[in-house]
């Protein structure tokens, strides 16, 4: 098995995730791009488990499981925030979030 194939796949997926986070305006699509980045990191962890640190146990796999749990928690809280924002402002566009009006936003 050539280690370079999954590693390069993960790098390209991470680049796509960065592109999506910077490109998208819709908050839900931004969260999807974040999921792509997290999956790229997981792929690196699992691949390293199978190649460079083979024989040292399944640490990479364990960390990938932990990252999956973190991603689930992140998406739960993130979507709660997005839905609350939609309820307050009827918009899900991230570049319309007025950060400098924090103090007087109702």
Partner 1 sequence: MTVADALLLALGALAVGSGALVVTSAQIVRAGLYLVVSLGAIAGLYLVLGAELVAWVQVLVYVGAVVVLLLFAVMLTRAPIGPSDDLDRPAWPALIVGGGVGLGLAVLFADAFRWSIHPLPAPGTAERMGAEIFGTWVLPFEVLSILLLAALVGAIVLSRPDIGARKGGEA
Q: Which of residues 54-93 bind partner 1 (CB under 8 A)?
A: 54-55, 57-62, 64-66, 68-77, 79-84, 86-88, 92-93
Pick from 17, 34, 28, 38: nearest CA to 94: 28
CA distance 87 to 103: 19
CA distance 63 to 58: 9
Does the footprint of partner 1 cover residue 15 (CB under 8 A)? yes
Contact with partner 1 (CB under 8 A) among 6, 98, 101, 102 = 6
Q: Of residues 32-51, which lie at the interface with partner 1 (CB under 8 A)?
A: 32-33, 35-36, 39, 42-43, 46-47, 49-51
Residues binding partner 1: number (CB under 8 A)? 75
Q: Between 2 and 100, whose beta carbon lies closer to partner 1? A: 2
Assigned token pair, 35: 């999921």
CB 91 within 8 A of CB 85: yes
């Amino acid at each position: 098995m050539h280690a370079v194939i999954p590693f390069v796949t993960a790098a390209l997926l991470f680049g796509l995730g960065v592109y999506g986070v910077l490109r998208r305006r819709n908050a839900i699509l931004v969260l999807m791009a974040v999921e792509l980045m997290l999956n790229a990191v997981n792929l690196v962890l699992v691949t390293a488990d199978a190649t460079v640190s083979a024989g040292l146990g399944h640490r990479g796999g364990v960390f990938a499981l932990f990252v999956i749990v973190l991603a689930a928690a992140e998406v739960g809280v993130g979507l709660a925030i997005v839905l609350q924002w939609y309820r307050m402002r009827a918009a899900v566009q991230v570049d319309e979030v007025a950060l400098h009006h924090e103090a007087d936003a109702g």
